[in-house]
Structure 1
Amino acid sequence: MKISLISKLPLFLAAGVLSIACQSKKETAPETPMTSAPAKATDIHSNADPKEARVKHLHWKAAVDFDEQVIRATATWEIEASADADLITFDTKGLTIEKIQTDTDTTAEYRLSEPDAILGQALAVLIQPTTKSVTIQYRTNPGAEALQWLSAQQTAGKKQPFLFTQSQAILARSWVPCQDSPGIRFTYDAEVTVPPALLALMSASNPETRNKTGVYTFEMKQPIPSYLLALAVGDLSFKSISPRSGIYAESSIVGKAAWEFADLEKMIAGAEELYGPYQWERYDVLVLPPSFPFGGMENPRLTFATPTILSGDRSLTSLIAHELAHSWSGNLVTNATWNDFWLNEGFTVYFETRIMEKLYGRDYAEMLASLSLQELKEEIKSLSDAEHPADTKLKLNLASRNPDDGVTAIAYNKGYFFLRTIEEQNGRDKFDQFVKDYFTQNAFKVMTTEAFIPFIRDYYQKQYNITLNDSLFEEWIFGEGLPISCAQPQSTRFDAVDAAMTQWKAGQKIEPLVTSWTTHEWLHFINHLPDSLTPAQLKDVDALGHFTASGNAEILSAWGVIAIRDQYTPAYAKIEDFLIHTGRRKFLMPLYSEFIKSEEGKKLALAIYAKARPNYHFVAVNSLDKLLGRS
């Protein structure tokens, strides 16, 4: 890439400082002791230096080219610079920079650092303290990590191509030059041109129908971090759920999706009753093609969701409750760095569970909590067996690592049980008031673990005269594994499943007992099957639950692990089809991991992966390449 020659000495000096700063960020960051004073967090996963100059608002004008699989765009950033600023630094990865200007039309000098496998390239632009805007003309790379380009055949409708983005954690820099840190917020507006047959959507105000020009405009008035930037383009339709919520999906499944999410408005209203007003105006859901690597992504105003939750019985809608809860936890109050990821996800799982309890009752929520605890224990064992016990702490140290490594059940479920412990030890009413005030007082701000601890301590001391002891934080936040103080969810419906399991193990028929079981009860049953099953037992339990024939992704994934473990070959064809046509990493990793435990299984896994890999997003491929030895 051509590097602009920079003649001014200050920028050479600044670039040198930048280089040193980038190197220091890759060193192992010492853990901050619990007793230290809160400080502004340094984000080791961004090259930006917001103390010198930071972005405030983005004007984005883009054209989406499906033939070349690139986006050609101009990003004009309104900025705020310190009194002695001489440069502003952006994060980029794989972008071709064509021209940069400051303010109206002044050609700017700039420098790109050497590429880093994780961080990409720092883009340092020469400015003055009085500079108000930086305009960057650029195009993306066909292999941009955040972008997934799908052919028509990879969609539900099979007629039009599809594009969607996944910016979390640090992939926004691969499609927009930005200060790619969760600690830096900005507002934005956009004009996006797409083929006229397609509809464009963003994490902003959105159209409900396509127009003849293919030109769409967007506005996000509330400040967001870069990981919440989102774009989707496809043959999409919209169905309204309520005056402030609705469903986008491909035309062939939008009706099914709208039926599945019929309780969406009830969820929003229930969430508001718990923890305060929804502050993003609309809440819509976009159901993406199967290659989407996550269950959901909490893009403001437009949650991205996997089609694997379309179970046909509304049993998996807790995922939507989770993404809705992010409208408070994460989107409203955001982890300052990815080392503090648990602050986003722990609060969100807690909030999600409370929404589900409010709508469907305590026992339903306790089933969800029980499954979360089972998942958490398995994650802790897996990380400990893999010699990564430090990753079982809530406060992470991801120096020199991809922040995606922190996306585990630890942040989600250990974070949830930590907060539930405080609730149970000191009273739900007190905790509810704390959470409501936590969101209100920190709205549109960031939070670190080191700032959270004195915040909750001071709150409980001043409001309730309750002292939260050091041991609570040491065990849960800075300690490895699962503290003995962890709550134990109690579900009468799961008690009934356990009783049926005992009868089944004794050889008794239990068919009449299972007729009313939901997805959660079947998952609990599968999770508590014996460590090994005979061929006869496998056939019997498959006939009991119709697992191999199931269209429920949660059940099929859990059953698939058992089937692979015990070499139940009648399920292999269904598992292969599932792996090829499902991109959700939560399901892919356990199935491939189980296959590779044997030499024969590894051969089969690699053969399946060769067929499936083109259908997966970078996020899934990045994890699976490492798992299968292709990195």
Structure 2
Amino acid sequence: MPLIVLAAVATAGILVIASSSTSPPPASLRTKEVYEAEAPEEEPGAPWLASLASFAQSIATKVVELLNQPVVSPAARSLPSSAPPLIGPAGAIHRNPIDEGSYANFDEITATHVSLDITVDFDSQTFRGSVSHSMACVKPGSTMAIFDYQGMEVYAEKTKVCKLKGYTPGDNMVTLQAKTEGCYWPVAELNTNLNPDIGSAVLVHLDAPCHTGDEFLITLEFETNDDQQAAMWLTPDQTVGKRQPYVLTQCESIYCRSFAPLQDTPAIKVTYDASVTVPKALTAMMSANSTGSVTEADTKTYYFICSIKVPSYLITIIVGDVEYRALDDVGRVGVVTEPGFMDAVAEEMSDLPKFFAAAEEYLTPYIWGTYTVAILPPSFPFGGMENPLLTFASPTLIVGDKSQVSVAIHEIGHSWFGNELGFARWEDLWIAEGFTVFVERKVPTLLAGGDMEVEKVDATVGNQSLLETMQDYGSAEGSPPEALDHPYNALVPVLDDVNPDDAFSTVCYESGYQLVKYLESVVGPTSFQAFLRKFVKANSQTAINVVDQYEAFVVETFPPEEASAKLATIDWNRWLYQPGMPPAELNNFTTKSGNLAIELADEFIALEGLSLPKEWESYNSWMSALRQMFLDRLNLKKDEVTRAILAKIDKAYGLTAALDPEVKSRWYPFSMKIGYEGSCAETASCGEGAAPGTCIINEAHLFASSVGRGKYIRPIYQALMDTGNEELAAAWLAENENFYHPITLIPLQRIVALE
């Protein structure tokens, strides 16, 4: 936003919140405890508004002063004599040694706050605008700031650097501009001759080496293009309401650099604010608190601020025909979705407040204020994404029987692990996912009064999924197949010159969970809960080191000999760095219901499709995880399974027409590999023209064309390739190319060998 506009806005007193209200933001949108201490709480009514008006006038005065300051003309700019030579096309720039998924030099000059001013253009399917980075000098003598970008035009000639006089929590793009002086246009270079899996870099040269304590405001202008990998642009037909277009961004892992040029790494956390201009008929929401909006003739501008520090991958936005509904009486927990989907979503998610309360009681007070889950259009690539204040979730959670709400519990757990506590590099993603899976499985146990049935069954299913993932990765070159020592089978994988998503799998979730569960077993549940609480409180909003802090806790909690004995049982090197299944067998996952699921599968196999097992009807009352165990057992013994057996199972349970996406994603590819076509085979009408719910290939096609969640559809495409249906796989992929998010599409292109 130009300074002269800011001056007009400030003088008029239209400072975001004041535009539509005469009272301060509701208490539910403020942060808690220590965060409230960072800025005095506003008094309601006229005193607050008068204070704001006075503040606005002071900003206007300062902006006018800034307009009169001399600046260096772009034509006269040059490198300072102390600057290093330009980094040329040979690509001398290197990835950061702390996080090799980023080119940013955050260990020299680091971002502390980000201000976004963007316009969302559905006609061109672009984000365009500017991003201003509040920067601090970390390494004296540094002469440039480096930012990541991908899939956009960065207008280097419009880059601006200003000296900043003290960023403070709560600043936004208006207040920051009022604290600047000595602005100039620097030499800014775009280096694109780099690893395409990681993106490009923009290098902004300072006019002089920086000193400890120096702060800068660096502004970059940009416009995204078709090569971006963060946004999913949807036509009205791809939404529930089919009235308005929709866009969402998915930034994890390294895709926020496709939304704006940033120091895109989990190693640093920033606060951020945003001004977002959208078509008037649409609503914008972000992983931040809304602070107001201004409506003009054809557009509406929304304002946001996130005053708690987050890594860049948690910055996100949705714009569409969406609405909010509270799920509790105080408006602390709620859901967002399209109006036509709201009733179904609110009913399916009605237990969310009790899950949230159980997690908070077990851990520490929730720091984010409110908790909102946005149920997105079906092309969303994951089950959920833990963006603070606006958690994303796939519509595959809305089945009608609440069987998939464990995903929602998982995302609640991320509020503490991943969001409040972070990690410095993508190799350590297990810290976020392993602890979160632990919370996901602990909450049902707490709500069941200590009954671990759900926790154990889910852990068993997870362990089987872990084994299958490791078998898919296989073994390192020269190792026997059973070794499972591929580098990606380690809890901390080796990510040399690759996109972190190449190694993204169930390993960080399930091996991570088993390590966390093992650490609990070493000290006992009560002591481990105390550790988690201390761990969170001591490290809020930082990247963490689990090993050192866990060992310190054990030493502080137990007598010396006992502490030494407990720590001696933990082989950190084996758990973290050596690939393969976890080193400690956690055999206490066995349950009576889990055994029944395995036994039922074995009985179906033994009866060879000639008759039904005695307890066959028990399947119909099982939770989703037990049904998954049943199907996983069949897959484990696939060499003994015949088409006749699958036909008997399908006739008993109607699995070809099942609603549960976990069942669909197992049943369809397994049936393809066994050669079972569905009950349509009885009438020889499989394929086009078959009755709904009877033909495997038809139902698989419908499922793969209506769901964008990669976990569910990758096995279907792989089964097509494995069964000689390569042309069909390519045709389905071409048909859905514009439906799938790039995060889903790229791995599918590899499966179908189109890349």
Q: Does 1:58 pair with 2:114?
A: yes
User: Alignment partner of 1:551: what SS?
Assistant: coil
Q: Which residue of 1 aligns with 2:67?
A: none
Q: Does 1:153 pair with 2:237?
A: yes
Q: Which residue of 2 aligns with 1:120?
A: 199
Contact 1:14/1:87 (CA < 8 Å) preserved in 2?
no
Q: Which residue of 2 aligns with 1:609?
A: 733
The code of the aligned residue for 1:251 comes to P
Q: Which residue of 2 aligns with 1:531?
A: 638
Pairing of 1:13-52 with structure 2 (within 5 A): 13=85, 15=87, 19-22=91-94, 42-52=98-108
Contact 1:6/1:12 (CA < 8 Å) preserved in 2?
no
Deviation at 1:6, TM superposition (A): 4.5
* 1:214–1:491 distance in 2 versus 1, CA, 3 Å: farther
* 1:597–1:5 distance in 2 versus 1, CA, 3 Å: farther
1:379-398: CA deviation from partner (whole Å, max 9, x where unpaired): 12111258661211111210
The percentage of counterpart residues that share the same residue type is 29
1:220-257: CA deviation from partner (whole Å, max 9, x where unpaired): 00011100010100110211112211110111111111
1:171-216: CA deviation from partner (whole Å, max 9, x where unpaired): 1011111100101111011110111111101000148999775211
* 1:182–1:592 distance in 2 versus 1, CA, 3 Å: same
Q: Which residue of 1 aligns with 2:154?
A: 97
* 1:122–1:3 distance in 2 versus 1, CA, 3 Å: farther
Q: Which residue of 1 aligns with 2:361?
A: 273
Residues 334-343 or 469-478, more deviating: 469-478
The match for 2:502 among 389, 396, 405 is 405
The match for 1:583 among 708, 726, 747 is 708
1:527-548: CA deviation from partner (whole Å, max 9, x where unpaired): 1114043232222111222111
Q: Which residue of 1 aligns with 2:186?
A: 108
Q: Distance in 2 between matches of 1:4 and 1:362?
A: 70
Q: Distance in 2 between matches of 1:18 and 1:417?
A: 45
Residues 425-434 or 511-520, more deviating: 511-520
Q: Does 1:565 pair with 2:649?
A: no
Q: Does 1:481 pair with 2:540?
A: no
Residues 221-230 or 151-160, more deviating: 151-160
Deviation at 1:131, TM superposition (A): 4.9
The code of the aligned residue for 1:391 comes to Y
Deviation at 1:73, TM superposition (A): 1.3
Contact 2:292/2:302 (CA < 8 Å) preserved in 1?
no
The code of the aligned residue for 1:423 comes to E
Deviation at 1:5, TM superposition (A): 7.9
User: Alignment partner of 2:279: what SS?
Assistant: coil
User: Alignment partner of 1:514: what SS?
Assistant: helix
Contact 2:291/2:305 (CA < 8 Å) preserved in 1?
no
Q: Which residue of 2 aligns with 1:461?
A: 555
Contact 1:4/1:110 (CA < 8 Å) preserved in 2?
no
The match for 1:393 among 485, 490, 503 is 490
Q: Does 1:501 pair with 2:601?
A: yes
The match for 1:595 among 720, 729, 734 is 720
Q: Distance in 1 between matches of 2:516 and 2:381?
A: 28
Q: Which residue of 2 aligns with 1:36?
A: none
Q: Distance in 2 between matches of 1:598 and 1:512?
A: 32
Q: Distance in 2 between matches of 1:615 and 1:48?
A: 32
Contact 2:514/2:582 (CA < 8 Å) preserved in 1?
no
Contact 1:208/1:237 (CA < 8 Å) preserved in 2?
no
Q: Distance in 1 between matches of 2:344 and 2:293?
A: 19
Contact 2:604/2:645 (CA < 8 Å) preserved in 1?
no
Q: Does 1:135 pair with 2:219?
A: yes
Deviation at 1:112, TM superposition (A): 1.2
The code of the aligned residue for 1:572 comes to I
Pairing of 1:59-458 with structure 2 (within 5 A): 59-82=115-138, 83-98=140-155, 99-103=158-162, 105-116=183-194, 117-127=196-206, 128=208, 129=210, 130-206=214-290, 213-242=299-328, 243-360=331-448, 361-384=451-474, 389-447=486-544, 451-458=545-552
**Greater than 6 Å deviation, 4+ residue runs:** 2-5, 207-212
Q: Which residue of 1 aligns with 2:648?
A: 540
User: Alignment partner of 2:722: what SS?
Assistant: coil
* 1:225–1:484 distance in 2 versus 1, CA, 3 Å: closer
* 1:500–1:211 distance in 2 versus 1, CA, 3 Å: farther
Larger radius of gyration: 2
Q: Distance in 1 between matches of 2:487 and 2:423?
A: 19
TM-score by length of 2: 0.77
Q: Does 1:521 pair with 2:626?
A: yes
Deviation at 1:114, TM superposition (A): 2.6
Contact 1:421/1:486 (CA < 8 Å) preserved in 2?
no
Q: Does 1:491 pair with 2:591?
A: yes
Q: Distance in 1 between matches of 2:476 and 2:582?
A: 20
Contact 1:156/1:250 (CA < 8 Å) preserved in 2?
yes
User: Alignment partner of 1:272: what SS?
Assistant: helix
Q: Distance in 1 between matches of 2:522 and 2:653?
A: 39
Query: What RMSD over aligned residues (CA atoms) do the two structures have, in Å?
Result: 2.3
Q: Distance in 1 between matches of 2:552 and 2:736?
A: 52
* 1:545–1:44 distance in 2 versus 1, CA, 3 Å: same
Residues 126-135 or 182-191, more deviating: 126-135
The code of the aligned residue for 2:377 comes to P
Q: Distance in 1 between matches of 2:731 and 2:586?
A: 43
Contact 2:234/2:246 (CA < 8 Å) preserved in 1?
yes
Q: Distance in 1 between matches of 2:590 and 2:746?
A: 38
Residues 620-629 or 183-192, more deviating: 620-629
Deviation at 1:356, TM superposition (A): 2.3
Number of positions where the alignment pairs a residue of Structure 1 with one of Structure 2: 610
The code of the aligned residue for 1:338 comes to W
User: Alignment partner of 2:404: what SS?
Assistant: coil
